[in-house]
């Protein structure tokens, strides 16, 4: 929603530059204050950090923002359901995790809850949104790969240090794709600047920091499943802040996501020790 308002005047690639600039300054400062000289990783880890930056920042955000500008916010929310599904498939194929019946049911439950909400709001697939929907599909795949590949690196480096370098490399690469757009459009009004600020604070700094902290403490598939909380949180803020009426579809979505996350994150029961 905020992204659609901001991109009424800001080109998608200009939004990306702003996200990288503000994200790197905020997260880089946090990493420096918390870890000091440890913010400099071993040279051997720099290629992996650069690869994560391409998947999690440059390609991910370019495809999402360009896709959102060519599609609808409702379709974007619906396609977000791809992230936990793709992540789960990748970690199982890579041998990082084992797909249990409980986890599969939990992911299906959460995805169904979110899909129901956005179908009720009028998700549509057609020629007008096809290009945008395709870009956002690849965006979801890119972010899923980012979550999976970041997991081993987080065992060696602090979370915010990894994220700071991901944003740093993104800041070195992504602006080259935005040299032909206006980063400060003259047509932007206060509502567009405030929408951009919201994009910078919530889905940029807070979301990336939150995801990397969760990823360091749990599995990639669990982290991806928490992405599905976003429409529930957005709906709750709309009710609390904007005075919107709670729609039945949102309540069903909250129930589906809540049950799904409980099934996905609930520790497996240990088998009772055999009595010899």
Q: What is the pLDDT of residue 227?
A: 80
Long-range Cβ contacts of 105-108 (<8 Å, 24+ apart): 105/263, 106/225, 106/259, 106/260, 106/261, 106/262, 106/263, 106/264, 106/265, 107/221, 107/225, 107/260, 107/264, 108/260
For the chain, the average pLDDT equals 85
What the block records as the tokens of 193 is 């600047």
Q: Among 29-33, 118-122, 196-200, 239-243, name the one with the lowest average pLDDT.
A: 239-243
Span 193-231, pLDDT tens digits: 998 998 899 888 988 998 899 899 888 888 888 887 776
Q: Mean pLDDT across the stretch 121-133?
A: 75
Q: Mean pLDDT across the stretch 24-48?
A: 95
Q: What is the pLDDT of residue 125?
A: 63
Would residue 243 be called left, alpha or beta, if left means φ above 0 and alpha means ψ between -120 and 50 degrees?
left
Q: What is the pLDDT of residue 271?
A: 41
Indicate whether 165 belongs to any domain. yes
Indicate whether 161 belongs to any domain. yes
Q: What is the largest CA-CA distance in the chain?
A: 78
Q: Mean pLDDT across the stretch 91-119?
A: 84
Number of domains comprising the chain: 1
pLDDT over 90 percentage in the chain: 42
Examine the pLDDT at 250 and tell me if it is beyond 80: no
Indicate whether 103 belongs to any domain. no
Alpha helices in the chain (DSSP H): 2-6, 12-35, 46-53, 59-70, 73-79, 82-94, 101-120, 127-153, 159-173, 190-199, 207-217, 220-225, 229-241, 248-265
Q: Mean pLDDT across the stretch 44-72?
A: 92
Q: What is the pLDDT of residue 168?
A: 97
Nearest alpha carbon to residue 39 among 28, 51, 49, 54:
28
pTM for the predicted model, two decimal places: 0.81
What the block records as the tokens of 215 is 């990823």
Span 138-160, pLDDT tens digits: 998 999 999 999 999 999 999 99
Range of the domain at 143: 2-98+123-181+189-218
Indicate whether 231 belongs to any domain. no
Examine the pLDDT at 122 and tell me if it is beyond 80: no
pLDDT band at 31 (very low <50, low <70, confident <90, very high): very high
What is residue 276's three-state secondary structure? Answer: coil
Indicate whether 249 belongs to any domain. no
Indicate whether 198 belongs to any domain. yes
In this structure, is the dihedral angle defined by the CA atoms of residues 61, 66, 69 and 72, taken in order, positive or negative? negative
Indicate whether 127 belongs to any domain. yes
Indicate whether 108 belongs to any domain. no
Q: What is the pLDDT of residue 63?
A: 94
Examine the pLDDT at 273 and tell me if it is beyond 80: no
């Amino acid at each position: 929603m905020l992204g659609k308002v901001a991109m009424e005047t800001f080109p998608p690639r200009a939004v990306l530059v702003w996200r990288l600039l503000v994200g790197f300054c905020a997260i880089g400062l946090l990493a420096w204050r918390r870890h000091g000289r440890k913010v400099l990783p071993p040279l051997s880890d720099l290629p992996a950090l650069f690869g994560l930056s391409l998947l999690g920042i440059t390609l991910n955000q370019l495809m999402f923002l360009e896709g959102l500008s060519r599609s609808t916010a409702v379709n974007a929310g619906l396609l977000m359901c791809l992230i936990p599904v793709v992540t789960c498939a990748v970690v199982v194929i890579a041998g990082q995790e084992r797909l249990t019946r409980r986890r599969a049911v939990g992911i299906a439950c959460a995805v169904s809850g979110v899909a129901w909400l956005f179908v009720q709001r009028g998700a549509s697939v057609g020629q007008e949104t096809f290009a945008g929907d395709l870009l956002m599909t690849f965006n979801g795949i890119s972010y899923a790969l980012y979550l999976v590949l970041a997991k081993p690196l987080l065992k060696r480096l602090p979370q915010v240090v990894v994220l700071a370098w991901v944003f740093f490399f993104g800041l070195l690469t992504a602006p080259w794709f935005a040299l032909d757009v206006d980063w400060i459009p003259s047509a932007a009004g206060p509502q567009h600047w405030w929408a951009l600020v919201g994009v910078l604070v919530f889905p940029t700094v807070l979301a990336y920091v939150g995801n990397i902290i969760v990823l360091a403490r749990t599995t990639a598939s669990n982290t991806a499943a928490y992405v599905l909380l976003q429409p529930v949180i957005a709906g709750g803020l709309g009710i609390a802040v904007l005075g919107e009426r709670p729609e039945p579809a949102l309540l069903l979505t909250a129930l589906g996501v809540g049950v799904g996350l409980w099934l996905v994150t609930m520790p497996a029961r240990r088998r009772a020790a055999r009595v010899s």
